[in-house]
């Protein structure tokens, strides 16, 4: 099969941001009586939109959060992302050696994506018009609509693309759109996720960037 595009998720695939986000949320819920470890948030809610996670946790923990909680959370997280974010080890080498164009599909909003990839030194590897987010597509993972939107804008069919995802939510979305998915477990939060990725439709599993490169070389993408 000759692929025309490789599509990357952002958080947990390009940048090691998921645990930072969950740690920030765990800390900010505490003053309102929300006692939940970052590890628990990671295990149960990774890959979902921030606002969905906050709504679910607020209901689960019976919290009364201020109206501006999301604004304060996003402001705090953005500041931390700007100053503490690193690229996934080895992912820059993958981006540098691709033989086909790439795109990015994430559940983060567009500006958060730009902040993250800029902080990690990866912005130059992506065209902004090939970055797709819920505030652009008007739909979010696990709904496959966000990937269907990206395919339409890229002018390709599902079997022209391959996706790199780290969460069951993302794998489910890509699989639902009919796109082949590689589950990628190189981020700090990825322990124990392999089974869930396979159950949601991942065809391959790469535990680090070296394994990812081997898969992509076999497919003549690198």
Q: Which residues of 21-42 are buried (b: 16+ CB within 10 A; e: fewer)?
A: bbbbbbebbeeeebebebeebb
Mean pLDDT of 155-180: 98
Alpha-carbon distance 33 to 66, whole Å?
13
Q: How confident is the model at residue 60 (pLDDT cuts 50, 70, 90)?
A: very high
CATH of the domain at 116: 3.40.50.1000
Peptide bond into 129 cis (omega under 30): no
**Which of 41, 69, 84 is the endpoint of a domain?**
84
Q: Do 113 and 131 belong to one domain? A: yes
At 3, list the tokens: 């692929």
Number of domains present in the structure of the chain: 2
At 219, list the tokens: 């497919």
- Higher-confidence residue of 74 and 156: namely 156
**Residue 108 contacts residue 116 (beta carbons within 8 Å):** yes
CATH of the domain at 29: 1.10.150
Q: Do 76 and 89 belong to one domain? A: no
pLDDT at 189: 63
pLDDT at 105: 99
Mean pLDDT of 149-176: 98
Q: Do 62 and 91 belong to one domain? A: no
Using DSSP's 3-state secondary structure scheme, residue 102 falls into: strand
Strand partners, 11: 15
pLDDT at 191: 65
Mean pLDDT of 114-137: 97
* Strands annotated E in the chain: 5-8, 102-105, 131-132, 161-165, 180-184, 204-206
Helix, strand and coil in the chain, % to nearest 5: 50, 10, 35
Which domain covers residue 78, as residue numbers?
Answer: 18-84
Indicate the burial class of 176 (C-beta count within 10 angstroms; 0-12, 13-18, 19 or more).
middle
- Higher-confidence residue of 38 and 47: namely 38
Mean pLDDT of 48-72: 93
pLDDT at 44: 86
pLDDT at 190: 60
**Which of 51, 84, 117 is the endpoint of a domain?**
84
């Amino acid at each position: 099969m000759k692929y025309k595009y490789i599509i990357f998720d952002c958080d947990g695939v390009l940048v090691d941001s998921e645990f930072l986000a969950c740690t920030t949320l765990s800390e900010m819920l505490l003053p309102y009586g929300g006692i939940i470890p970052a590890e628990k948030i990671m295990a149960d809610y990774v890959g979902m939109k921030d606002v969905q996670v906050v709504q679910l946790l607020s209901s689960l923990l019976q919290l009364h959060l201020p109206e501006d909680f999301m604004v304060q959370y996003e402001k705090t997280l953005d500041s931390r992302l700007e100053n503490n974010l690193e690229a996934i080890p080895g992912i820059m080498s993958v981006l540098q050696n691709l033989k086909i164009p790439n795109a990015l599909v994430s559940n983060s909003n567009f500006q958060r994506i730009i902040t993250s990839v800029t902080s990690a030194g990866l912005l130059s590897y992506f065209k902004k018009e090939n970055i797709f987010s819920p505030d652009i597509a008007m739909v979010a993972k696990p709904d496959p609509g966000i990937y269907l939107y990206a395919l339409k804008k890229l002018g390709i069919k599902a079997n022209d693309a391959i996706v790199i995802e780290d969460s069951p939510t993302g794998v489910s979305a890509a699989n639902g759109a009919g796109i082949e998915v590689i589950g990628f477990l190189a981020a700090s939060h990825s322990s124990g996720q392999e089974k869930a990725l396979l159950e949601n439709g991942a065809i391959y599993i790469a535990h680090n960037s070296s394994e990812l490169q081997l898969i992509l070389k076999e497919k003549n993408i690198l």
